[in-house]
Amino acid sequence: MKYIIVFLTIWSQISCTGNIGPGEEPNARAPENWVVMSKEQLSVAGITSSKLNTQFLSGAIRVSGKIDVPLQNLVSVSVPLGGNLKPNRLVPGMKVNKGQAMAEVEDQQYIQLQQDFLTTRVQLDLAEKNFLRQKDLNESKASSDKVVEQRASDYQSLKIQLSALSEKSES
């Protein structure tokens, strides 16, 4: 591999010095980091050159390297709560469609959040029914205003709690 790189470096330098005529020496004004050889030096070293051409390869070429994603296609995804990622089949650079699951996160916090949300929703339904029942009883003066106000307060606080849990689960 080292010889190929040296050859390519020498070949590129020779092909870039287009001012060498037959029997002439290389231009003395070549940059310092260039290697310039005369035709005699090339023949002594056994270096020959030809024009580049396209050839089909019959076998596979194994190479190693890194493929990078352009910045406009790079996206960072984060999760507001902790947890562990479940293995998935996505690889860097793979196209992801809208609505496609990119990752699954497991953690007890998510289960607790879901439990709190569902429990609060059930309690809110019960509080709404109690509030409406007490309101009807209060209209017929079978119940005091204090009880109706307490049921209204319970109902409103559960609505706020459900809204907060909903926001927490969406972020």
Are 80 and 109 spatial neighbours (Cβ–Cβ below 8 Å)? Answer: no
Helix (H) or strand (E) holding 145: helix 145-170
Q: What is the pLDDT of residues 113-168, one digit of tens each?
A: 889 999 999 999 999 999 988 888 888 887 788 888 898 999 999 999 999 988 88
Amino acid symbol at 123: Q
* Whole-number Å distance between alpha carbons of 151 and 154: 5
- Type of residue at 144: S
Give the Cβ contact number of residue 151 at 10 Å.
21
Contact 131, 152 (CB under 8 A): yes
Specify whether the CB–CB gap between 105 and 140 falls below 8 A.
Answer: no
Token match 């949300």: residue?
A: 117
The answer to which of 19-28, 84-93, 127-136 has the lowest mean pLDDT is 19-28
- Residue 93 or 112, more confident: 112
What global pTM score does this model have? Answer: 0.44
pLDDT at 71 over 60: yes
Q: What is the mean pLDDT of residues 21-28?
A: 52
**pLDDT for position 3:** 44
CB 86 within 8 A of CB 111: no
Distance (Å, rounded) from C-alpha 50 to C-alpha 167? 69
Query: What percent of the chain is predicted at pLDDT more than 90?
Result: 15
> What average pLDDT score do residues 31-46 get?
82
Contacts of 91 (CB under 8 A, 6+ apart): none
C-alpha–C-alpha distance, residues 93 and 142, integer Å: 69
Residue 9 has a pLDDT of 52
Give the model's pLDDT for residue 10.
53
